[in-house]
Chain A
Amino acid sequence: GAVVSQHPSWVICKSGTSVKIECRSLDFQATTMFWYRQFPKQSLMLMATSNEGSKATYEQGVEKDKFLINHASLTLSTLTVTSAHPEDSSFYICGGAQAFPPRDTEAFFGQGTRLTVV
């Protein structure tokens, strides 16, 4: 399958600082990128969907100013958690997909980033 690389795999930061997470599609063009948050033993909660070159579409309840998403190219999307607080500690995972046929049957995910805010 296709490869999506997410970096860093884990990060510890101080409360009030910002953290950037990168998501790269290595061998395909991700026209759409998804960002999820996953709490322990729970499902993946969609935070936002971004299409290359346009603004991200955020899910209800997700603060746009806190979770900044940029999808500047077909191979790179970033999530920046601004002014992080301990309640932002979680597992964040990105996914990439070609949203249009013939490769709309595929959606691949990065390894995830475990964020701990202290």
Chain B
Amino acid sequence: AQKITQTQPGMFVQEKEAVTLDCTYDTSDPSYGLFWYKQPSSGEMIFLIYQGSYDQQNATEGRYSLNFQKARKSANLVISASQLGDSAMYFCAMRDLGEDSSYKLIFGSGTRLLVRP
């Protein structure tokens, strides 16, 4: 069963505006972590932000913030003041214990963001 769902295959945003990328997840593990990564066309995975399941506050890192709604099992990424360099693929990922009790990091299908000048 798919554990991480990103329903937006592609998004456009005007430069300097804010954009929200959606991510929902499913896990029975009470302790889990949620990550967002940016993947430019060069292929490397750039870590953006992390939210732990027990964190009371929403995570923020510069222009990135995570809208964590635990009851709804959603962890949306908000990028404020979009820049042209933000154009890339964005992946949501979840760390939890797999069925075999091993640490796993599973990715969603990704959202391609295009920032318009």
Interface on A for B, CB 8 Å cutoff?
A: 1, 32, 34, 36, 42-44, 46, 49, 51, 57, 91, 93, 95, 97, 99, 104-112, 114
Is chain B's binding surface mostly helix, strand, loop or mixed?
A: strand
- Chain B interface: which size bin? 20 to 34
Q: Give the interface segment out of B18-26, B45-53, B69-77, B78-86.
A: B45-53
CB distance from B50 to the nearest CB of A (A): 5
Tell me the bound Cα distance from A114 to B106 in angstroms.
21
The residue in B42, B43, B50 that gathers the most chain A C-beta atoms within 10 A of its C-beta is: B43
A34 with B47, Cβ < 8 A, contacts A43-B91, A107-B35 known: no
Interface on B for A, CB 8 Å cutoff?
A: 33, 35, 37, 42-45, 47, 50, 52, 91, 93, 95, 98, 100, 102-110
Q: Are B37 and A109 in contact (CB under 8 A)?
A: yes
A43 with B110, Cβ < 8 A, contacts A105-B52, A107-B35 known: yes
Q: Are A104 and B105 in contact (CB under 8 A)?
A: no
Q: Are A107 and B47 in contact (CB under 8 A)?
A: yes
Tell me the bound Cα distance from A18 to B91 in angstroms.
31
Chain A residues, Cβ within 8 Å of B107: 36, 43-44, 46
Q: Are B43 and A107 in contact (CB under 8 A)?
A: no
